[in-house]
């Protein structure tokens, strides 16, 4: 069985997934970042952790074959295939304070923190997701710069769930920088049940 979800620009969604399901995240128009977060089903205290993922994989990058881990160091998902090869494991979800800091327009701005919290029915003070398709360039002197995503229309990353989980996913709301190529667009998620 295949379920398809389209997440409009600047909004978020909760999607429940079972162990062994495949999760395909598609950048419909290209150049769009997906704030991708998840909780263990029924236990919001265990959640996707980019920091633990960096630790376990001993890499600042996410590559095909890598595992994505929870804050409790348990495998949560696995990268099955990837058209793009550039994803960000460093940045927290955008939030009103971030828009105020950089662009002086935080009040009322749509943002991934609120969109994911609302979708999951949580009030986390900070969410650090995996920012799929976000291109954060790492420079030799330690600086980072956010560049235009390399994803083209229809590019996708395919993940396999290693546990039952609830995804909290947002199409990122930043139109003020190169992060989403200067404008926000929708994304698509396809969930395929393979082994039930």
Q: In terms of CB distance, is 57 or 175 closer to Zn ion?
A: 175
User: Least distance to Zn ion from the beta carbon of 90, Å?
Assistant: 13
Beta bridge partners of 6: 188
Q: Which of residues 30-89 bind Zn ion (CB under 5 A)?
A: none
The burial of 43, by beta-carbon neighbours within 10 Å (0-12 exposed, 13-18 middle, 19 or more buried), is given as: middle
User: Least distance to Zn ion from the beta carbon of 33, Å?
Assistant: 7
Which residue in 17, 112, 158, 187 binds Zn ion (CB under 5 A)? 112
Region binding Zn ion by CB under 5 A among candidate stretches 1-9, 94-102, 143-151, 157-165? 94-102
User: Least distance to Zn ion from the beta carbon of 173, Å?
Assistant: 5
User: Least distance to Zn ion from the beta carbon of 181, Å?
Assistant: 13
* Residue 25 within binding range of Zn ion, rule CB under 5 A: no
CB atoms < 10 A from the CB of 159, how many? 24
Cα separation, 26 vs 157, whole angstroms:
7
User: Least distance to Zn ion from the beta carbon of 105, Å?
Assistant: 14
Max distance between CA atoms of the chain, in angstroms, equals 50
* Residue 172 within binding range of Zn ion, rule CB under 5 A: yes
The burial of 140, by beta-carbon neighbours within 10 Å (0-12 exposed, 13-18 middle, 19 or more buried), is given as: exposed
* Residue 171 within binding range of Zn ion, rule CB under 5 A: no
Cβ distance 78 to 68 under 8 Å? yes
User: Least distance to Zn ion from the beta carbon of 35, Å?
Assistant: 5
Cα separation, 187 vs 165, whole angstroms:
20
Torsion over CA of 161, 47, 68 and 117, rounded to 10 degrees?
Answer: 90
Q: In terms of CB distance, is 33 or 163 closer to Zn ion?
A: 33
Give the binding-site size for Zn ion (rule: CB under 5 A). 3
Q: In terms of CB distance, is 112 or 161 closer to Zn ion?
A: 112
Contacts to Zn ion by CB under 5 A: 94, 112, 172
């Amino acid at each position: 069985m295949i379920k398809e979800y389209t997440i409009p620009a600047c909004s978020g969604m909760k999607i429940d997934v079972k162990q062994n399901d495949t999760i395909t995240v598609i950048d419909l128009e290209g150049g769009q970042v997906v704030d991708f977060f998840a909780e263990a089903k029924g236990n919001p205290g265990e959640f996707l952790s980019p920091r633990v993922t960096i630790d376990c994989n001993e890499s600042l990058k996410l590559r095909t074959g890598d595992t994505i881990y929870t804050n409790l160091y348990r495998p949560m998902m696995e990268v099955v295939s990837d058209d793009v090869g550039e994803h960000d494991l460093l940045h927290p979800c955008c939030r009103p304070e971030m828009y105020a800091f950089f662009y002086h327009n935080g009040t009322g701005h749509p943002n991934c923190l609120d969109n994911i919290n609302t979708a999951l029915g949580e009030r986390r003070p900070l969410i650090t997701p995996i920012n799929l398709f976000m291109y954060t360039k790492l420079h030799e002197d330690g600086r980072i710069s956010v560049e235009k995503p390399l994803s083209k229309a229809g590019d996708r990353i395919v993940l396999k769930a290693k546990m039952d989980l609830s995804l909290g996913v947002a199409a990122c709301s930043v139109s003020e920088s190169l992060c989403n190529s200067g404008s926000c667009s929708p994304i698509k998620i396809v969930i395929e049940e393979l082994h039930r």
